[in-house]
Structure 1
Amino acid sequence: MDWWAVVLVAAAAALAVAGITHYAFIQMTQMKALNYQQVFDAFERAGARFREMYEPLRKEEVRIASHDGLRLHGVVVKAEQPSPKWVILVHGYTTSLPASIPFMDMFREEGFNVLLVDQRRHGKSEGKYTTYGYHEKHDVAAWVRYIKDAYGENCVVGLHGVSLGGGTVLEYLSLPEADAKFVIADCPYSDLTRLMHHQLQRLNHLPAALFLPLVNARMRKRAGFTLDQVSPVRSVQSSKIPVMFIHGAKDNYIPPSMSEELFAAKTGAKRLLLIQDATHGFALDADPALYKRSVQEFVREALAGSPAESVEQAAELSPPEKEEFGGFGLTGVPNA
């Protein structure tokens, strides 16, 4: 082969690698998020009319400042009777706070006030990059502080997060000021490096050994954090706050083995719920009665100071069929 042909092939390969690296970085940190209307429309296409349930509720929009100067947005829905109990609902990647509406009733039935939040860069909150809990854990801490400043230091606050939200609420446990009464993480990741390795190598058939270092370097330069700085499994190891892990047995996007790993690493009070027929982010849809009962039992035990270690509906976990995943979209799937 002539030298110029070699140069052209090398240049084309370098451009391809650079293009894939850039695309992966955008997909991981800046994928376009759904606005409120789009989330409600998605619910309605699936036959769920949450807009009709949500819109008549008495609610209050609130805004706070993040530790790095962003304006964060949330909505307060108070309990029917005055209550010191609060739960913060944290949505996943590329959605916004209406995606948390399906989880409201199981807490409102227990007398909780609910705070639905837009994660940074989502919904009506400001922000340029998603950082998978690196910055978002401080946002959660700011929301906890908002509740106690606005409604009294005697408030008890719990957290519930799905996917990115699950990773975020687990990362919150690493903060010295973390004082939530319980944390519920639905389909969370245990370690961001290993999650992205899985999504590149297993789901997209790309050489993770080549692309992860390149993506990581771009994240450090552009978004100010690296993959190894986000590892919820480290956060749970030393936390005494009760944690419930929930995962769908057919989740191939974030493997259910990650919740099993988190459960094994967690010290103190913990519960693991595996839902047999659930895919990513759809554990509640797959078995609403089991999900609701298990969550409410766990919350009651946590508030009473006596949660027991348990594993419920532990399905035999077989690898999901590959055709369940449709393409390259790193971290951008429905209900993520």
Structure 2
Amino acid sequence: MKRITRNLTLAAAMIAVIFAMSGCMVGKFMCNYALLPEEHGNDIEGDRVKVEERYPGIIAWYDALRSDGTYRDGTLEGEGGCKLYYEYVTASDPANAQGTAVVVHGYTDNHICFLNLVRMYRDSLNYNVLVPDLHHHGYSEGDAVQMGWLDRLDAIRFIEKAHEIFGDDFLVMHGVSMGGATTMMTSGEDLPEYVRAFVEDCGYSSVWNQYKYNLKQMFHLPSWPVLNSASNVCRRRYGWDFKQASSMDQLAKCERPMLFIHGDNDDFVPTSHVYMNYDAKVKGYKEIWLAPGSAHAMAYKDHPAEYTAHVRSFLAKVRELGL
């Protein structure tokens, strides 16, 4: 009986070791899959085509402003010494500009992918606009995607650069998807007084929660031990882990106004995330708008007039009421 017990214990230990080793290998694969995607916003020409298909005429609008020098670019030094790229454009009526918007793209996107929001802020709302390429995206350097967490530190640099260029005392940060998470994560930091408001569109509640959902949805895998292993790999390589990268934790520290936007038919970052994020912000003014029928990052495409109206109304309240 003792021999059977000993053999069963040994077998269980061996299974546990094999399971842990396999989990570690899968964890490394997942970390690479998530943070080192083959396509990471570096296909600028391909994205120009996609954006033009979605918003006909917008590339001609962009190219014309680039040609006459209204739309410019620059670089700055980001976290870890990486060279980060950005573009910026003055308001349609510069003498009466309402402020500055920093528009932040999503996962595997770049400065081209949300020209619709740049045009919204410039032409419809009369804001100056700066739009960056985040770490490891577009023309920016960087060894891996940072999922908004280390990007929040770069976002502060982009905010400061926008203020240096335009000098406005009213700045709004607006991000979509991973850019939405970057916006929320930035909102919990110690920021200059001229940062007055945030708009987040379909951002996730935390990297852990998002990857847990993706593991089940895409690979039919449990979070343990795969996600734990991948998070450990990320911490060793890049200095942060998936639970640490939390929009909700940062929102709990945010006292400045925020507009939350999410499609009510989003099955990539589930709509449940926006409620978690909204509830996590316990200080300061907040609004929420659920875009009817919209899938992930499609709220503006589906409802451009309503989207613009919600952003305009929110910013007007912040400005007029001194929120």
Partner-residue secondary structure (3-state), 1:303:
helix
User: Higher mean Cα deviation, 194-203 or 13-22?
Assistant: 13-22
Which of residues 49, 56, 77 is equivalent to 2:64?
A: 56
**Separation in 1, partners of 2:299, 2:239:** 33
Does 2:149 match 1:141?
A: no
Q: 2:40 aligns with which of 33, 48, 59?
A: 33
- Pairing 1:310-321 to 2, within 5 Å after superposition: none
TM-score, length-scaled by structure 1: 0.83
Q: Which residue is 1:327 aligned to? A: none
Give the AA of the match of 2:183: V
2:291–2:299 CA contact under 8 A, matched in 1: yes
1:326 is matched with: none
Instruction: Output one character per residue of 1:217-272: Cα deviation in whole Å (capped at 9) or x when no partner.
Output: 11111222111211111111221110011111111111111111111221221111
Distance 2:322 2:285 in 1: 8
Identical amino acids, percent of aligned pairs:
23
Residues 204 and 274 in structure 2, CA contact (< 8 A), matched pair in contact too: yes
- CA-CA distance at 1:147 after TM superposition: 2.3
Partners of 2:51 and 2:112 within 8 A in 1: no
- Which residue of structure 2 aligns with residue 163 of structure 1? 177
Is 2:101 the counterpart of 1:87? yes
SS in 2 for 1:181: strand
- Structure 1 pair 105/139, CA: closer, same or farther in 2 (3 Å)? same
Q: CA deviation at 1:286?
A: 1.6
* Gapped regions of structure 2 (runs ≥ 5): 1-14
Displacement after TM superposition at 1:106 (Å): 2.3
Pick from 308, 311, 316 the counterpart of residue 292 of structure 1: 308
Which residue does the alignment assign to 2:125?
110
Residue 213 of structure 2 corresponds to residue 198 of structure 1: yes
Q: Which one-letter code corresponds to 2:304 in the other structure?
A: P
Superposition pairs of residues 1-336 of structure 1, within 5 angstroms: 17-31=23-37, 32-34=39-41, 35-46=43-54, 48-57=56-65, 58-82=70-94, 83=97, 85-108=99-122, 109-152=124-167, 154-177=168-191, 179=193, 180-266=195-281, 267-305=283-321
Q: Partner letter of residue 64 of structure 1?
A: L
Q: 1:11 to 1:240 in 2, by over 3 A?
A: closer
RMSD value, Cα: 2.3
Cα distance in structure 1, aligned partners of 2:221 and 2:264: 25
CA distance in 1, matches of 2:241, 2:288: 29
Contact residue 90 and residue 166 of structure 1 kept, 8 A: yes
Q: Distance in 2 between matches of 1:289 and 1:84?
A: 19
Q: CA deviation at 1:46?
A: 4.3
CA shift digits 1:258-315 (9 cap, x unpaired): 11111122122111111121111111112112111111111111122356xxxxxxxx
Distance (whole Å) between structure 1 residues aligned to residue 54 and residue 72 of structure 2: 28
Deviations for 1:85-120, whole angstroms, at most 9, x for unmatched residues?
A: 100010001011101201123212222001111111
- Post-superposition offset of 1:17: 4.3
CA distance, structure 1, for counterparts of residue 159 and residue 18 of structure 2: 50
- Report the TM-score when normalising by structure 2: 0.86
Equivalenced residues, count: 300
Q: CA separation in 1, counterparts of 2:207 and 2:278?
A: 17
Return the letter of the residue paired with 1:285: K
Q: Is the CA contact 2:36–2:144 (under 8 Å) kept in the aligned structure 1?
A: yes
Q: Which moved more, 1:46-55 or 1:190-199?
A: 46-55
1:292/1:140 CA distance change after superposition, 3 Å: same
- Given that 2:102 and 2:162 are in contact with CA atoms closer than 8 Å, whether structure 1 keeps it comes out as no
Asked which structure has the greater CA Rg, the reply is 2
Residues 1:178 and 1:245: Cα distance change in structure 2 (over 3 Å): farther
What secondary structure is seen at the aligned counterpart in 1 of 2:101?
strand
